[in-house]
Amino acid sequence: MSRDPDYKRMIHSARWQKLRRDIISASPLCERCRAEGYVTAATEVHHRIPVEQGFNRMEKKRLMFDPHNLVALCRACHVKTHTEMGRSGKDATRKRNSEHVQAVIRRFYGSDTSDEPPGGVFLNGEGVPVNLTRTP
C-alpha cells in the first residue's frame, strides 16, 4: 500500500504483528461498519494519519504504533477509506510539508516573521526553491 521504506520495514516487524492482533482482539468488529449500523468482523488495522506523513523515522514510528492512530476495519471499509483518503491525503501531506518549512524558517530567523523576511532561498513543501529576497 505504501512505498515508504520505513513503513515497509515496520509493517513486517514482530511489534506491529502483535499490536495488530491486540487491536483486532480489543475491537473485533469493523468500526466503520458499526458506525453505519452493520456488524462485520474486523480483519485489518487502519492508520488514521498515514505513517508516511511522519517527517522523520521517529514520527513515523509514533504514527505506526500509537493505538490512538489505529482503527480496526473490515477489508471493504479499509479499501474504501484509502480510496477516500487518496486525494485529500496527498493534499494533507503537502500542507504538512509546507508547514514544516515555515517552522524551519521561523526557527532560523526567530519567532517574528511579520517583518520583511531577510533574503535567502528555501525549498517549499514540494522541493521547489523559493526566493525570499524582495525585489524593489
Beta strands in 1-136 (DSSP E): 44-47, 70-73, 121-123, 129-131
**Long-range contact list for 126-130, CB < 8 A, 24+ apart?**
126/94, 126/97, 126/98
Q: How many residues bind Zn ion (CB under 5 A)?
A: 6
Q: Between 32 and 46, whose beta carbon lies closer to Zn ion?
A: 32
Q: Between 40 and 93, whose beta carbon lies closer to Zn ion?
A: 40
Note the Cα 45 to chain centre separation in Å. 15
Binding residue (CB under 5 A) for Zn ion from 10, 23, 24, 30: 30
Residues 62-81 that bind Zn ion (CB under 5 A): 74, 77
Least CB distance to Zn ion at residue 82 (A): 13
Q: Between 10 and 74, whose beta carbon lies closer to Zn ion?
A: 74
Q: Between 85 and 101, whose beta carbon lies closer to Zn ion?
A: 85
What is the rounded CA–CA span in Å between residue 92 and residue 98?
10
Least CB distance to Zn ion at residue 12 (A): 25
What is the rounded CA–CA span in Å between residue 92 and residue 3?
17
Binding site for Zn ion (CB under 5 A): 30, 32-33, 40, 74, 77
